[in-house]
């Protein structure tokens, strides 16, 4: 959102500015060149990463609706008169797919929706994924099977786009790209806002302007309207990134704001321990009281659809039944059910989550387009499209700034040296703290500053003239 005053370029009208009288330089006048330089170079260097993140994010926002169309045969069936017990649906799935183990069951959440039986350890299926077997809840017939990823229930199309957005299909190393983009997005957006609202002259409309000034006006206008959304995408994207996300988790733990976890243990060697279904047997979970009684116990605790039933991990563990609705209002209550007695042994209510745990859940779900359904996805489409437009306009201004030169005309060096100490020192302290918590912001920024100082010193020693500032 670079909004520096327009300079004379091809087709731009001339404008002049009277020099400031000595001693009248304001703190903003001293700080503005530094903000302008940071915004300019961060935009040029980080924009490719942001462009990939925005493009893949745009695709992801549309993948929810595409998934419903592409996998309609697996997801939907004609509405019947009554549903079969969940245990019979799972048995039908296991008869057709005896491989692997049952890792979870998602009963049909609404009329006409299929039940998902999730199998882990299936040959040919990614170890991080499960095989989702879709069962008609009215007849027990299978409608198909697909790989599923994550707690959101992403099927192959959304999974591929999600992984491309997150790590470019490069694994843990690839996640650095998305964290770099999220770490710098708020800086670039914030710098643009500061420059926009810090202008001394009244804003001019696009009408009647041409060339670079018109591009500048469009860039600034789009940026201002999208700024709040870009801040949100940056903040929520960082919450589950590799390094910054871990720092956020550590901070939440330090202040007692972690997400509560249901206790799924039962007393070893207890009266009904021999009835528990051990993990890894490969059979359908049905030992002890069985799936249907477990689901009834969860219903008695007001766990309404959609829910997911996770079998006991071992002979000393309970069933875990959790609500999985990510749309508003969120349903995230969780209960543990003793497999031998069918009694609920622990309950965690979403209403009792600490504030930061709730904000984290809401933020992530809004970031992925799940919180408000289609409306949420349309907002994400608008935000990611706006970011793509900003990047294209920014590069166009960069090109026009150099009047067609190979790399564009760079900004003048030494802006940080001109800032007064009473501004520079607190600013550097704040940047150090933020850079510590956001290492993929701090490390590149320190590297840029070091290179800038070295190049400036080389140019100074050789007596080269630095480029003149734009204003």
CATH code of 136's domain: 3.10.450.40
Residue 159 within a domain: no
Is residue 191 located within the same domain as residue 319? no
Residue 2 lies in a domain: no
Residue 50, domain member (yes or no)? yes
- 455 and 386 belong to one structural domain: yes
403 and 269 share one domain: no
Please tell me whether residues 292 and 312 are part of one structural domain.
yes
**Per-residue pLDDT tens digits of the chain, which is 471 residues long:** 444 443 333 344 444 444 444 445 566 677 788 888 888 888 888 999 999 999 999 999 999 999 999 999 999 999 999 999 999 999 999 999 999 999 999 999 999 999 999 999 999 999 999 999 999 999 999 999 999 999 999 999 999 999 999 999 999 999 999 999 999 999 999 999 988 887 644 454 445 556 677 888 899 999 999 999 999 999 999 998 999 999 999 999 999 999 999 999 886 544 444 444 443 333 445 468 999 999 999 999 999 999 999 999 999 999 999 999 999 999 999 999 999 999 999 999 999 999 999 999 999 999 999 999 999 999 999 999 999 999 999 998 888 776 444 444 555 566 666 677 777 788 889 989 999 999 999 999 988 888 777 776 777 777 655 444 444
- pLDDT value for 458: 78
Task: Based on the fold, state whether residues 324 and 397 are members of the same structural domain.
Answer: no
User: Which of 154, 183, 204 is a domain's end point?
Assistant: 154
Q: Are residues 226 and 343 in the same domain?
A: no
Decide if 160 is inside a domain. no
Examine the domain organization and report whether 177 and 121 are in the same domain: no
Domain boundary among 352, 386, 415: 352
311 within domain boundaries: yes
Domain count, the chain: 3
At residue 295, the pLDDT reads 98
Domain boundary among 352, 385, 405: 352
Say if 275 falls within a structural domain.
yes
- Cα–Cα distance list, 174 to 134, 167, 169, 242, 446 (Å): 32, 4, 7, 10, 22
Q: Nearest CA to 338 among 315, 322, 359?
A: 315
Evaluate whether residue 320 is within a structural domain.
yes
Do 33 and 53 lie in one domain? The reply is yes
Report the pLDDT value the prediction gives residue 416, as an integer from 0 to 100.
Answer: 65
Residue 21 lies in a domain: no
In which domain, by residue range, is 201 found? 27-62+169-252+374-461
Statement to judge: residues 303 and 424 lie in one domain: no
**Residue 44: per-residue pLDDT:** 86
Can you read off the two tokens belonging to residue 174? 């690839």
């Amino acid at each position: 959102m670079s909004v520096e005053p327009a300079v004379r370029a091809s087709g731009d009208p001339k404008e002049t500015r009277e020099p400031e009288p000595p001693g009248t330089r304001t703190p903003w006048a001293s700080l503005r060149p530094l903000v302008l330089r940071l915004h300019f170079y961060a935009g040029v260097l980080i924009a490719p990463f942001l462009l990939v993140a925005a493009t893949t994010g745009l695709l992801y926002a549309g993948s929810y609706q595409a998934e419903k169309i592409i996998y309609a045969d697996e997801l939907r069936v004609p509405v019947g008169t009554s549903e079969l017990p969940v245990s019979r649906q799972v048995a039908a799935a296991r008869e057709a797919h005896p491989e692997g183990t049952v890792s979870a069951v998602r009963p049909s959440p609404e009329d006409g929706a299929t039940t998902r039986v999730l199998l882990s350890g299936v040959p040919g299926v990614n170890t991080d994924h499960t095989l989702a077997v879709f069962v008609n809840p009215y007849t027990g017939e299978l409608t198909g099977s697909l790989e599923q990823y994550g707690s959101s229930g992403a099927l192959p199309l959304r999974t591929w786009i999600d992984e491309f957005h997150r790590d470019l299909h490069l694994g843990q190393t690839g996640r650095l790209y998305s964290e770099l983009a999220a770490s710098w997005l708020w800086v670039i957006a914030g710098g643009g806002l500061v420059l926009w609202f810090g202008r001394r002259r009244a804003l001019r409309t696009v009408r009647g302007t041409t060339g670079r000034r018109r591009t500048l006006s469009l860039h600034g206008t789009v940026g201002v309207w999208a700024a709040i959304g870009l801040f949100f995408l940056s903040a929520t994207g960082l919450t589950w990134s590799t390094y910054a996300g871990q720092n956020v988790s550590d901070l939440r733990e330090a202040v007692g704001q972690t997400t509560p976890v249901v206790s799924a243990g039962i007393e070893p060697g207890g009266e009904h321990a021999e009835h528990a279904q051990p993990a890894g047997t490969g059979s359908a979970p049905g030992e002890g009281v069985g799936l249907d009684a477990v689901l009834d116990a969860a219903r008695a605790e007001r766990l309404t659809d959609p829910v997911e039933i996770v079998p006991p991990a071992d002979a000393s563990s309970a069933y875990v039944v959790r609500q999985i609705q990510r749309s508003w209002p969120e349903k995230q209550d969780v209960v543990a059910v003793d497999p031998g007695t069918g009694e609920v042994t622990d309950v965690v209510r979403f209403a009792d989550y600490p504030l930061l745990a709730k904000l984290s859940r809401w933020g992530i779900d809004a970031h992925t387009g799940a919180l408000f359904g289609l409306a949420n996805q349309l907002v994400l489409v608008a935000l990611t499209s706006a970011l793509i437009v900003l990047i294209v306009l920014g590069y166009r201004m960069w090109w026009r700034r150099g009047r067609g030169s190979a790399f564009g005309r760079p900004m003048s060096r030494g802006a940080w040296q001109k800032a007064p100490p009473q501004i520079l020192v607190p600013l550097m302290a704040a940047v150090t703290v933020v850079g510590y918590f956001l290492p993929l912001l701090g490390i590149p920024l320190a590297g840029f500053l070091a290179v800038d100082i070295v190049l400036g010193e080389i140019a100074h020693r050789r007596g080269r003239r630095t480029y003149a500032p734009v204003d």
